[in-house]
Amino acid sequence: MKFTNKNILITGASTGIGKALAEKLSHIKCKLILTARRIELLKEIKANLSGNKAAIEIHQNDVSNKEAVKQTKSKILGNIDIAILNAGVGGNVNPDNYDSAIGEKVYGTNVMGLIYWIEELLPQMKKERKGIIAGVSSLADNRGYPGSSFYCGSKAAASIMLEGLRIEFIKYGIKVITIKPGFVATPMTANHKFHMPFLMNSDKAAKIIIKGIEKDKKVIEFPWQTAVGAKFVSLIPNFIFDKMVKKQMGQ
């Protein structure tokens, strides 16, 4: 099994998909390195999973802070074999609350968070000529959805960046995987007012992600219905797209 006896980093492990990944992987003999800003939540998770097979190390970390990422990496004992860079934030933005601070937070976490962590992981992985970097993007990377324009933009940047890195890193034996979930029931989506088609729970999402990494997939996108739908939506002409999403978002 790909995860057995490996050191596995999960960023954004305090809630949602990251927490579900930690719970699932804790049944495998491996070391889980869990990070997030809310250390109290990580302590609870560590206590709850302590009876399982995995050894668990937790670190408080803000992925949008380059220095903090550097420091956290330096505190991690041993090398990282698999990094699931999952930390992410939403950020509702509209003409009435438009604020670059929201943009800084969303891009700082969803894009710079990946860039900072990859910068820290790369030297060791290059040296060992192996490693897996799985970055969590979104199926919302396909278009700019109203209210989520910063989020969609950040995920489009993440997906495109991960795709390029995937090809570039091959020569060092490092695998880069892009994870693109559709709607998953987590604190991030808990307050969404619009209908979320094919909404799945975080446990199922974690299962699909783990299976996808096991199978060496380049892109793990789910659920398949939303993944197929997203591809069609990206082909829809603007005048139809605008009307369609306005209706969907209740605008």
Ligand X SMILES: NC(=O)c1ccc[n+]([C@@H]2O[C@H](COP(=O)([O-])OP(=O)(O)OC[C@H]3O[C@@H](n4cnc5c(N)ncnc54)[C@H](OP(=O)(O)O)[C@@H]3O)[C@@H](O)[C@H]2O)c1
Mark the segment that binds ligand X (CB under 6 A) among 21-29, 33-41, 96-104, 215-223.
Answer: 33-41
Q: Which of 19, 31, 73, 155 is catalytic?
A: 155
Which CB sits closer to ligand X, 106 or 174? 106
Q: Which of 151, 215, 218, 243 is catalytic?
A: 151
Alpha-carbon torsion, ordered 154, 161, 110, 178, to 10 deg: 110
Q: Quick check: 28 and 1 in contact, CB under 8 A?
A: yes
Enter the DSSP assignment of 111.
I
Q: Tell me the H-state helices in the chain.
A: 16-25, 39-49, 66-75, 100-107, 113-128, 149-169, 202-214, 224-233, 238-248
147 part of the interface to ligand X, by CB under 6 A: no
183 part of the interface to ligand X, by CB under 6 A: yes
245 part of the interface to ligand X, by CB under 6 A: no
Distance of CA 242 to the CA centre of its chain: 28
197 part of the interface to ligand X, by CB under 6 A: no
| Interface with ligand X (CB under 6 A), residue from 8, 9, 17, 125 | 17
In the beta sheet, which residues pair with residue 8? 32, 82
Q: 72-108: string of b/e by CB count within 10 Å (b at 16+)?
A: bbeebeeebbbbbbbbbbbbebeeeeeeeebbebbbb
Distance of CA 110 to the CA centre of its chain: 8
Closest separation in Å from C-beta 196 to ligand X: 7
Mark the segment that binds ligand X (CB under 6 A) among 25-33, 34-42, 126-134, 166-174.
Answer: 34-42
Mark the segment that binds ligand X (CB under 6 A) among 11-19, 48-56, 207-215, 227-235.
Answer: 11-19
Quick one: which of 201, 200, 112 has its CA closest to 158? 112
Residues in the interface with ligand X (CB under 6 A) total 30
Q: How far is CA 231 from CA 46, 163, 165, 228, in A?
A: 39, 17, 22, 5
Mask for 56-95, x = binds ligand X (CB under 6 A) = -----xxxx---------------------xxxx------
Which CB sits closer to ligand X, 172 or 219? 219
Residues serving a catalytic function are: 151, 155
Residues at the contact surface with ligand X, assessed by CB under 6 A: 11-18, 36-38, 41, 61-64, 86-89, 109, 136, 138, 181, 183-184, 186-189
